Amino acid sequence: MTVKLLVADDHSIVRRGLQALLEAQAGWQVCAVADNGQAAVDLATEHRPDVVILDYSLPGLNGLEATRHIRLVSPRSEVLIYTMHNNEDVIRDVLRAGARGYLLKTEDDAEVVRAVQALLRKQPYFSPQVAETLLDTFLSGSKVVASQTLSSREREVIQLVAEGKSNRDIAERWKVSIKTVESHRTAAMRKLNLRSGVELALYAVRNKLIEP
């Protein structure tokens, strides 16, 4: 049987490289590619791939929220986060969202293949550096950070505001009222003790919701 794979990254050279690497494996086919998070969700809904390989820092809808949506629309699709960010908060959040693999872009090509093979067997996979980060976090007994209390919509509104979208832009995107957007934005800022859009943007950069 053909293994269907979806690749989502906002850099075309990464998309092309992953597609060439994956399709060099017997029986593997990249059924779709995406350059943003919403496109990844839409394509996962359409194609129901076996494995989705997601960059974390995707525009519009980041890897965390894309993972959450993909696991809802295509529960059998396993998600592999493929990123530069070896950050314990990011790792923890995407695992809670439903990702089963986390791989750093600094790893060699063989790690990508091994990661996909593991997810096809319904086994989790973490690159060695990520596994070490998770172990360090476990041993240190790190406490829950405030950002984990944010809802999915609150996280998304932070990213979109930081990307320069207005409340009206977001309302049209979500097909809701501007008042609803303002409510999510106000709730997020209150939880994070932020006072302005600038502070919101800085928070998004520090927490890898957008690229600086």
Query: What are 152-180's pLDDT values in tens digits?
Result: 888 888 888 878 788 899 999 899 999 99
**Using alpha carbons only, what angle is made at residue 185 by residues 184 and 187, rounded to the nearest 5 degrees?**
65
Q: Total domain count for the chain?
A: 2
Q: Do 18 and 46 belong together in one domain?
A: yes
Q: Which two tokens stand for residue 65?
A: 């929220």
Count of residues in the chain = 212
What pLDDT shows up at residue 21? 96
Longest dimension (CA), the chain: 54
Q: 113: domain CATH number?
A: 3.40.50.2300
Domain boundary among 140, 162, 185: 140
Query: What are 199-209's pLDDT values in tens digits?
Result: 777 777 777 67
Q: 175: domain CATH number?
A: 1.10.10.10
Domain boundary among 140, 163, 189: 140
Domain boundary among 140, 162, 190: 140
Dihedral-angle region of residue 208 (phi above 0 means left; psi in -120 to 50 means alpha; beta otherwise): left
Query: Would the pTM count as exceeding 0.85?
Result: no
Query: What are 57-106's pLDDT values in tens digits?
Result: 898 888 989 999 999 999 999 999 998 888 777 888 888 889 989 999 98
Give the pLDDT mean for 27-52. Answer: 96
Structural domain containing residue 193: 146-206
**Using alpha carbons only, what angle is made at residue 80 by residues 76 and 82, rounded to the nearest 5 degrees?**
160
